[in-house]
Structure 1
Amino acid sequence: MSDDSHRPRRAVLRTSVAVAGLGTIAGCTNEGRNENEDTENDTGGGSSGSYSVTMEPVGTVEFDSVPETWAANNGSWADMGIALGQEPPECVWLTNRYRTQYYDEIPNVSVDKSDMIALSEQNADKELFYEMMADVHVMDPNFLMNRFDGWDQDDVDEVKEHIGPFFGNTIFNQEYPWHDYEYLTLYEAFEKLSEVFQEQDRYKAFAELHDEFQDEIDEIVPPEGERPDVAILWPTEAEANTFYPFTIDEGTSFKQWHDLKVNDALGKAGVSDFASDRGTIDYESLLEIDPDVLLIRGQEDMTAAEFQDEVVSEMESYNFASSLTAVQNGDVYRGGPLYQGPITNLVLTERAAQQLYDVEEELFDRQEVSDIVNGEF
């Protein structure tokens, strides 16, 4: 597609540092890491002038006005935008993995995905970006170039020039070999996005709520010797009774398990994470490890009761699986999604505490979350 076939939508957004390529300059953009230098015009909520935000691997991105429409890479970034009071993104990589049902826990917060584009299901066609014409693409361009063969640096540069910049970092796990630049925690990424949307006050309110929530979690976690060994697994579709193993790294998809200080049974046993080598594990190998708790991913469309009826009951009837300590003790649970942002993390961490530590009470104020999202704080 030639440059002449699409005119720039507006001169609203532009990038001042080129997106890092694959494994070359991706880790070399360190300017502006001082938090006081990340934005030129930090008003704490709304800006009438130009400002810039710096984050690896995209470098320093300059904005002439606050973005109104946006595209998100996944449910982590989408949830951050909702927490910041934004309209839902035009797209995510997979809409079925943006788990909006967690918003049912929060009053007056909901997201309609019916018109949201699933990039992956349409081969991440570059023409989709021209159809969306988003003011900013909240996605890691290196994810596009490494997870889909149809994208290269020229495509990224074309979208930046003719539509809008990229602003994202792949943070949900830390196992991709091409990710050789700085990782961000959930709240570090959330703070960066708040600067993009000039919603720093909402971020600060969420950060304070999260600190209070973390204090509650710290009170619940038992002494080190009493914490369970857990194995996080995703059932394969190609072969029955085999799983993709997930070791607990610092990525945001494992935040609740880090905060609850569980022990990683698979990591301790030397099992490689699925993202690093696409390997599998079967029940016979799991029996050698015999974790205290099994956390099964890919089951988030099920209720807890449905999960017990359909997944756990099958394990109980299968010879090798029924011998696992976790199955015998009734400690097999839904393992949470790949993607979580500040709202969904509160819901998922509370659920995980209930699963592992027999917590019954609510650990955060739903109405307070709603008030922040709706600008009533």
Structure 2
Amino acid sequence: MEETATTSRAPTRREWLTYGSATVGGLLAGCTGGSEPENETTDPEAGPTDETDERTTPAEDSHSATLAPAGEVTLESTPEDIFTMLGHHADMVLALGRSDDMNAVFAPGYHEGLYRKLVHHFDGVSVDWDGLYDSWQPKKEKLYDLDSDVHIADPAKVATADGWDDSDVRDVAETVAPWFGNTLSGTHRTPPEGWRDQYEYYTLWEIFGSVAQLLDERDRYEALSSVHESMVQTIEENLPPEDERPTAALVLFSTSEDDTGWGYKLNHPGYYAAHTRPMGVTDTLAKAFGAGYGESGRNMPFDYELLLEADPDVLLVLGAMTEYFDLDQIRANLENHEVASELTAVTEGNVYAQGARRQGPILNLFQLEMTAKQLYPEQFGEWPGYENGDPYPEIPEEEQLFDRDRVGEIVGEGA
């Protein structure tokens, strides 16, 4: 299916959608040598000119939000069919009470299994993503079939998918629905050619705030942000002195049986490290990998020999709370391996389960709590441990770092 796009097309079928001055359409026109529409203002404070047609004049009940690289998007009604791609964006939609409106997510079974273990603790909140379109790598024709009202996905990331280029991204934005998402802030990875001038990096909660604005759920965002800020403040105020903190490493194994995997920065500014950065620990992989560790946001492969060179006091294992990994098997492999069995984290029993690196607000809250307990049991209470297949473990109310009832109320009923 071949599609063409121009800068002077007829009104699209989605007349409730209007674009601001820094949108995907305009940006891609600049990237591909096109010119800006004559009637489009470049002053963010200026209103529409007399020549601006009805499609670019927001209605009184419309709501706008801005997020690079898509720019400003204005919707004249709340979207009912929401396309998501990667897990952090799906988490945001879930947190805003709009999970039932999703029609796509990457690896639906993987993400459903993980999030069911979390929302188990929220009365009246459930996750049912079985049967949703597996959206990475997305097929352009499928996006036309889904006919979504908005695509909560990073257009710069989509442009790198197999079978996609910048003109395809622009065409979908103009003829189906706008893009609105940011993925490369996860590790501050260098954007692809054609997107670098307009790309910006944000924190996880800044991205979430913009998504909430677009979905007209700002109150939910503000309420959840307050919970998050309070917990981070509690953690940072109660950290022990630096010389009393453990060292740590954050890893993802290839499989439960393999002795290879990838290491991730604990203190990186990207949202992959939004749950570990506040802990203030020394990342031992940084010294073991040396120069180039995580350069341009890329993960780094390791084997047991390199992991022993790093020798962290605590080993945090990504993916171990999903159905795709077996934490007991990972621990057994470490304990029975000639090299890995010498790891301090293994000999002291400090190999712990984590969730996922692409975290949204809900996973971030739980991962902040679990990581604080895994690293600093004396300050924040002991981590009760995770059993394969079970939900996120029960923690006595007085030892919880955030209020489950309050978060469940926000997600399920609104702020």
* TM-score above 0.5, yes or no: yes
Aligned AA for 2:64?
Answer: S
1:197 aligns with 2:215: yes
1:107 aligns with 2:156: no
Superposed structure 1 runs of 4+ greater than 4 Å apart: 20-25, 31-34, 274-279
- Corresponding residue of 1:119: 135
| Pairs within 5 Å for 1:264-303 | 264-269=283-288, 270=290, 272-273=293-294, 276=297, 279-301=300-322
Give me the whole-angstrom Cα distance separating, in 1, the residues matched to 2:190 and 2:269.
15
The 3 A distance-change label for structure 1 pair 107 and 316 is same
What's the secondary structure of 1:156's corresponding residue? helix
Give me the whole-angstrom Cα distance separating, in 1, the residues matched to 2:72 and 2:142.
25
- Corresponding residue of 1:135: 149
Give me the whole-angstrom Cα distance separating, in 2, the residues matched to 1:2 and 1:175.
32
Superposition deviation, residue 9 in structure 1: 4.0
What's the secondary structure of 1:299's corresponding residue? coil
The 3 A distance-change label for structure 1 pair 376 and 163 is closer
The 3 A distance-change label for structure 1 pair 144 and 154 is same
What's the secondary structure of 2:410's corresponding residue? helix
Query: TM-score of the superposition, structure 2-length normalised?
Result: 0.77
1:375 aligns with 2:413: yes
1:212 aligns with 2:225: no
| Pairs within 5 Å for 1:290-329 | 290-301=311-322, 307=327, 309-329=328-348
The 3 A distance-change label for structure 1 pair 33 and 107 is farther
| Contact 2:317–2:352 under 8 Å retained in 1 | yes
Superposition deviation, residue 97 in structure 1: 4.4
Give me the whole-angstrom Cα distance separating, in 2, the residues matched to 1:32 and 1:54.
14
Measured against aligned partners, the alpha-carbon deviations of 1:99-155 in whole angstroms (never above 9, x if no partner) come to 3122112221111011211112xx411111112111110110111112x12111111
The 3 A distance-change label for structure 1 pair 323 and 84 is same
| Candidates 79, 97, 118, aligned match of 1:85 | 97
Which deviates more from structure 2 when the two are superposed, residues 362-371 or residues 239-248?
Answer: 239-248
Aligned AA for 1:214?
Answer: V
What's the secondary structure of 1:281's corresponding residue? strand
1:349 aligns with 2:365: no
| Contact 1:175–1:273 under 8 Å retained in 2 | no
Give me the whole-angstrom Cα distance separating, in 1, the residues matched to 2:86 and 2:249.
24
| Pairs within 5 Å for 1:227-246 | 227-236=245-254, 240-246=258-264
Aligned AA for 1:243?
Answer: G
1:160 aligns with 2:173: yes
What's the secondary structure of 2:320's corresponding residue? coil
The 3 A distance-change label for structure 1 pair 32 and 257 is farther
Measured against aligned partners, the alpha-carbon deviations of 1:201-243 in whole angstroms (never above 9, x if no partner) come to 1111112222222232224422212222211112235994122
| Candidates 64, 68, 72, aligned match of 1:52 | 64
Query: TM-score of the superposition, structure 1-length normalised?
Result: 0.85
Identity %: 35
Q: Which runs of 5+ in 2 are unaligned?
A: 6-10, 33-41, 48-58, 383-398
Measured against aligned partners, the alpha-carbon deviations of 1:271-297 in whole angstroms (never above 9, x if no partner) come to 623975564211112222211111122
What's the secondary structure of 1:118's corresponding residue? coil
Rg comparison, structure with higher value: 2
Q: CA RMSD in A?
A: 3.1
Aligned AA for 1:250?
Answer: P
| Contact 1:137–1:167 under 8 Å retained in 2 | yes
- Corresponding residue of 2:35: none
| Contact 1:67–1:197 under 8 Å retained in 2 | yes
Aligned AA for 2:338?
Answer: N
Measured against aligned partners, the alpha-carbon deviations of 1:56-113 in whole angstroms (never above 9, x if no partner) come to 1111112222222211122211111222221342112332442312211222111101
The 3 A distance-change label for structure 1 pair 238 and 194 is closer
Give me the whole-angstrom Cα distance separating, in 1, the residues matched to 2:28 and 2:309.
42
| Contact 1:14–1:161 under 8 Å retained in 2 | no
Aligned length: 355
Give me the whole-angstrom Cα distance separating, in 1, the residues matched to 2:86 and 2:43.
26
The 3 A distance-change label for structure 1 pair 93 and 204 is same
Aligned AA for 2:156?
Answer: N
